[in-house]
Structure 1
């Protein structure tokens, strides 16, 4: 075929406009470097999205400059004029030439300095970005300077204030500090400017941002007003306390219901403190003022956790006001992940959030137990219902004082909620002889084993597989059941053979399979404390193969009793050697991640400790070790961690115990082994004093636990309706 017949009409992949027959020149599609002006405008659009973002950068620069007073002036929502005046240390005249060039800063010299950054701004992009999309004027004076200097900027460079004039900074009258004036924001980006429909909406965002920093920055005075208005929208004095700042900005209703909280943990390298509203106050939308290392940021994870904490205390659709200042070791924080520094990443996020929410929950519960109410006596001439005693009628003055403040209205019993787990339990309804024996058993189990505290530093888990497993648990959370567990009151153990216990949530009584609940709890503990487990040491060490042989022979005997086929039979020695070889080969990984230590010679030195105050049954140890061979997926990382932690959780789940006989003589038979009595007491004590308190603070109830793991037995209001019909 002739080569001319194979000629292609045009280039593939070229999109043509309608009616266009001309193919673009190939040379025009070559890769080229963008014009610097285009690059700067793109960068500016990422950092300065709205006037409030420009203001945030200017406020942070002013606070970094040691200012004790900030004045903000706004016109047309900041699009026409945005001016901030501070009394900081000012800018040297010689530095004004490069002030608005990109990546010019006095706070960062090398990349490693990001690990210890403790200031608001550090990249030197804020003023540069503003100068590319607005007319920027800087007036500044240092303490050592005889006069102030004023400079105008355009596109990151000094520019003349009027055509034909020099661009050099000019001397002018002024006070110590810096005044930055931003005019005609987005004047050269018309598409962005047209996107702002309402100046009042932008001004409200500015007021919110100024209010956040006014609450957080102690010792700094703030004021903000519209251009042309005589009064100010925000006016906070420097000596005002945090509570009074909240009162001025968010109102008296919020300030009167605040409680303070704090949390810290050297393991995770954080310290948190703040103020939050109690159960008497709620609004339609959560207000969270979050500062991480003194920088205003947002965090959906912290917000969701706080809302879940308050859901137990507030009515439906009620939300709190929370101010939280979180200080984290700078080496654990990456502040350079978002162009506007609105979001930050930090290590051990789940653990830190959990500690903070637990402290808030404890504070809310403490306030709730001591809540007081204002009462009013009957006014003269009030009609008292028939049959009711007249107020103060024939009552001595001493009796009046004693009765003052006490309510005479009897609460409806169908609304009563158990608040003290020690009031009455199911075991108190047993026969007297049985109850005495149970109390004796409980006293025997009160002795805890001795614990040692090591100097080992906690290990930060950075494995994606573990984070994904944690995320899967959160995605599977049943919110209602989690709230029930978080606010429950333990009632008692119902059946030890079937591992059933009763708890009260609100006015409802639930039957809980504490075996399944313990499995979920220990699996989640394994994910949370991954790589940081405690250790149960064996002294002397156990022979791994002997322990595996016990389980393998038991499996073989069980198979023989079940008359299984010959194909299901196995060689005990071969199985033991196979599993032992697998564990010895992976001993370094088992020790590092799970604190399960196996020597090269096949000695079992330690197993992981998941919870203090409870020791798993050592009778389950052989079966646990044997199942690590065939039931753990050793070929893939995430599947390996998931299957191993599930086997570990099964090992830690309390074993099924025989039911208690009704006869007291049978309960304490002479031939009953002492270790059986001690184990029963240990499990009973752990269920009430270890597991259910842990469920209250740490358990994320999953949807699978809801299906068959928890059963609603009774609703107090429903029972009263039944009794009323009888």
Structure 2
């Protein structure tokens, strides 16, 4: 007889069957048993080591406790495959290696009362023990008085042999003073938790965050962190760097340039506080607090809320601060043993201490706030930027007038300054008759009827794949992006950001009309597209979409087509010799691209097989197909025009060639339009001419739609207009204020 379990409880069938056999006719409770020690250790390990960044936090704290002045961290697959930390501390004595990874073995605590004066990061002796139960752990260490280093392997808290059949004892090896701890295959025996980590890049970002926090706080300690297999480091901090310099390298110059230092103390509550915080000139989207209590990195909801309330009167709505706060409290007032991962601590008089620190920060902010700077702009785009400095502003006394506080009178309406802002209203192109034989207006806008746009000429199909974004931190990429920002033309960028698209004026010269404010401009959309695609190539580097060719294209055939076109452009008296030269160039370019196929695939989504088949090219923007007629020339130019000898030169020249390939081609005039008679070719076969006209017409409709609905909206959102684009890339053709004066005189 089986007795039903109470509602909400769940028991396995075999357990119920065992109980039924043992207690026939009775409902006796299940017996209490002691868990297997291996199960106990794995449960404890799961509470202490919850993620790779938490394991690294424990290892960093142990290294700093050992007196290290330099830490080198190596990570693979977000720390799940490999997590290695190397320090130059005092090392571990060989006699201590057998019990190193047993639970509750430590050199920092002897009796419970020692917790009241603990001044080190670790004290329980559970970090290495927990890691050894859920990963393959290797320790290589050398003390100052040892003649060699010793390497030991651990499994489930005990020494284990490096290979089956060998002795588990530590082996002498060559090594430098200090300790190197290698953690491999983290959570290999906890598959449920291992599957919970979906993205290696997310885990690596968490590791970078924890390394950055300790790099800011631990003065006189050098930090470096990089991915396995990469030559460049994600974090590199010198030992003699100041706290401001450390924040500059980790968080950027925008934060470091707006920092104020603060320091306060109070003997009543037994604390000292010091740190750095951003002033009222800087704000970010999310509050960032680096909180250290007795040099231990912790989190506190109370501290976070109090600091956010302190900054609320000083920052705009939605703005948040960056604060690095180090609290030193009397150890007898702090309870550090309240959280398995030591993420939280309790201390006496928490509210009073937090209030005292926030009051001091508020006083500092109020002092700095008297000299805040703001950027203002004139009414129209194109005006010069001016700077207001409130440090010398004077408030008029009661009963007196002061220009700095005077409320301006409401300006009278001036019709010459009115701007149409409703894009649903009719455009000027809808008032013009369409060109003969086409559905496009002279300005190139698509014809509209009954207020509804006609259907797109073609439906582009896209497939979404599950691929994580990869963050590349190449120094060369940062320099290229910085060069674009330094070359920014603020007024022109503002024009593109606030423009309204009017229409395409000329397909052959690639001209389009836009309105910004009360001005009308002609834009060379070919040059604008080049700037936009070049910037997309830098910002989306290594994360492009893919345009696949089915069936694949033959790389050498495409290069032959490009070479034939080049030979027609280059007149030569020795035709045979010219053909041989182009043949050799084609083969050289093909071999060069095939040899670098792995680089092209990883960074640019350009996939080429070892046999010379082109499988895919990068997709830079959704909703626009690049002109495939330019594909042969694009591939041929990758040989001589890309600098394959240097990293920065390679990235810059390749992205420029890719941007040039994506620029819309010059289209012939539409039939019946201006210049169509001279440009229209004579066709002997009428049917062939009609077929060519239909292809050109379809391409023109696709380009028109992409320019109006894809590219120019993208310019509005993210184009950084440069000074080079200002020179010949845009022309002001009308100004409403000037035209209004002319009509006013009439």
Provide TM-score, normalisation by structure 2. Answer: 0.49
Q: How does 1:283-294 map to 2 (within 5 A)?
A: 283-294=284-295
Query: Over residues 120-158 of structure 1, what are the superposed CA-to-partner deviations in whole Å (9 max), with x where a residue is unaligned?
Result: 001000000000000000000000000000000000000
Structure 2 partner of 1:212 = 213
Q: Following the alignment from structure 2 to structure 1, what is the Cα–Cα distance between the partners of residues 286 and 2?
A: 62
Quote the offset at 1:11 in angstroms. Answer: 7.7
| Deviations 1:391-419, CA, capped at 9 Å, x for gaps | xxxxxxxxxxxxxx999x9445349xxxx
Aligned to 2:169: 168
1:113 matched to 2:114? The reply is yes
Gapped regions of structure 2 (runs ≥ 5):
24-28, 385-391, 395-401, 409-746
CA distance in 1, matches of 2:2, 2:292: 61
Q: Which residue of 1 aligns with 2:99?
A: 98
2:374, 2:15 → 1: CA distance? 80
Q: Distance in 2 between matches of 1:113 and 1:411?
A: 63
Structure 1 CA distance, aligned partners of 2:151 and 2:12?
51
**Cα gap change, 1:265 to 1:10, in 2 (>3 Å):** same
- Report the equivalent of 2:140: 139
Q: Classify 1:156/1:21 alpha carbon distance in 2 versus 1 (closer, same or farther; 3 Å).
A: closer
Q: CA deviation at 1:20?
A: 11
1:43 is the counterpart of 2:44: yes
The aligned residue for residue 54 of structure 1 is 55
For residue 406 of structure 2, the aligned residue among 404, 413, 420 is 413
Deviation readout 1:458-515 (Å, 9 max, x if unpaired): xxxxxxxxxxxxxxxxxxxxxxxxxxxxxxxxxxxxxxxxxxxxxxxxxxxxxxxxxx
Structure 1 residues 167, 310: closer, same or farther in 2, change over 3 A? same
Report the alpha carbon displacement of residue 353 of structure 1 after superposing the two structures with TM. 0.4
Question: Against the structure 1 CA distance between its residues 309 and 25, is the aligned structure 2 distance closer, same or farther, given a 3 Å change threshold?
Answer: farther
**Displacement of 1:371 after TM fit?**
3.6
Quote the Cα distance in structure 1 between the aligned partners of 2:251 and 2:37: 45
Q: Distance in 2 between matches of 1:43 and 1:131?
A: 12
The offset of 1:370, in angstroms, is: 3.3
**TM-fit CA distance, 1:29:** 2.6
Distance 1:321 1:26, change over 3 A: farther
In 2, the alpha carbon distance for the partners of 1:383 and 1:293 equals 53
Offset of residue 274 of structure 1: 0.4
CA distance in 1, matches of 2:142, 2:241: 27
- Structure 1 CA distance, aligned partners of 2:2 and 2:272? 69
Distance 2:128 2:14 in 1: 46
1:543-582 map, 5 Å? none
Cross-structure match for 2:296: 295
Q: Distance in 2 between matches of 1:25 and 1:329?
A: 60
Q: Aligned runs of 1:154-233 on 2, under 5 Å?
A: 154-233=155-234
Equivalent-residue separation in structure 1 for 2:354 and 2:151 (angstroms)? 47
RMSD across aligned positions (CA): 2.9
Pair 1:265 & 2:266 matched: yes
C-alpha change, 1:17 and 1:36, in structure 2 (3 Å) is: closer
Take 2:182 and 2:53, find their aligned partners in 1: how far apart are those partners? 14
Q: Secondary structure at the match of 2:189?
A: coil
Superposed displacement of residue 262, structure 1? 1.3
Alpha carbons of 1:20 and 1:224: their partners in 2 closer, same or farther (altered >3 Å)? closer
**C-alpha displacement at 1:287, in angstroms?**
0.4
Tell me the equivalent position of 1:338: 339
- Partner Cα separation in structure 1 for residue 289 and residue 263 of structure 2: 16
How far does the alpha carbon of each residue in 1:91-140 deviate from its partner, in whole angstroms, 9 at most, with x for none? 00000000000000000000000000000001000000000000000000
Deviations 1:178-231 (A, max 9, x none): 000000000000000000000000000000000000000000000000000010
Counterpart-to-counterpart distance in 2, 1:16 and 1:90: 50
2:130 and 2:337 mapped to 1: Cα distance? 17
Equivalent residue number for residue 640 of structure 1: none
SS of the residue aligned with 1:283? coil
Residues 292 and 25 of structure 1, relative CA distance in 2, 3 Å threshold: farther
Structure 1 residues 111 and 309: alpha-carbon distance in aligned structure 2, compared to 1, 3 A threshold: same
Could you say if the C-alpha distance between residues 9 and 210 of structure 1 is closer, same or farther in structure 2, counting changes exceeding 3 Å?
closer
Distance 1:258 1:18, change over 3 A: same
Instruction: Provide closer, same or farther for how the CA distance between residues 153 and 257 of structure 1 changes in structure 2, counting only shifts above 3 A.
Output: same
Q: State the distance in 1 between where 2:2 and 2:102 align.
A: 49
Distance 2:317 2:364 in 1: 20
* Secondary structure in structure 2 of the residue aligned to 1:29: coil
Aligned to 2:523: none
8 Å contact kept, 2:281–2:373: no
SS at match of 1:357: helix
Q: For residues 694-705 of structure 1, what are the structure 2 equivalents within 5 Å?
A: none
User: How is 1:659-670 mapped onto 2 (pairs within 5 angstroms)?
Assistant: none
Distance 1:162-1:17 versus aligned 2 partners, 3 A rule: closer
**Residues 25 and 348 of structure 1: is their aligned pair in 2 closer, same or farther, counting only changes over 3 Å?**
farther
1:54 Cα deviation after fit:
0.3
Residue in 1 aligned with 2:439?
A: none
Question: Is 2:118 the counterpart of 1:125?
Answer: no
The alpha-carbon distance between structure 1 residues 18 and 365, as it changes in their structure 2 partners (threshold 3 A), is same
1 CA distance for matches of 2:383 and 2:245? 43
Query: Structure 2 CA distance, aligned partners of 1:145 and 1:236?
Result: 29
Is the CA contact 2:93–2:143 (under 8 Å) kept in the aligned structure 1? Answer: yes
Match of 2:341, SS? coil
User: How far apart, in 1, do the equivalents of 2:299 and 2:374 lie?
Assistant: 36
- State how many pairs are aligned: 386
1:30 shift after superposition = 1.1
Pairing of 1:552-631 with structure 2 (within 5 A): none
1:243 aligns with 2:244: yes
**Alpha-carbon displacement from aligned partner over 1:592-618 (angstroms, at most 9, x marks no partner):** xxxxxxxxxxxxxxxxxxxxxxxxxxx
Residue 24 of structure 1: CA displacement? Answer: 3.7
Which residue of structure 2 lines up, in the alignment, with residue 319 of structure 1? 320
- 1:314-339 per-residue CA deviation (whole Å, 9 max, x = no partner) reads 00111000000001101000000000
Partner of 1:714: none
Distance apart, 1:369 and its partner CA = 1.6
Where does 1:20-31 land on structure 2 (aligned, <5 Å)? 22=17, 24-26=20-22, 29-31=30-32
Q: Matched residues in 1 for 2:308 and 2:109: separation?
A: 37
Give unpaired runs (5+ residues) of structure 1: 1-7, 377-381, 385-404, 416-726
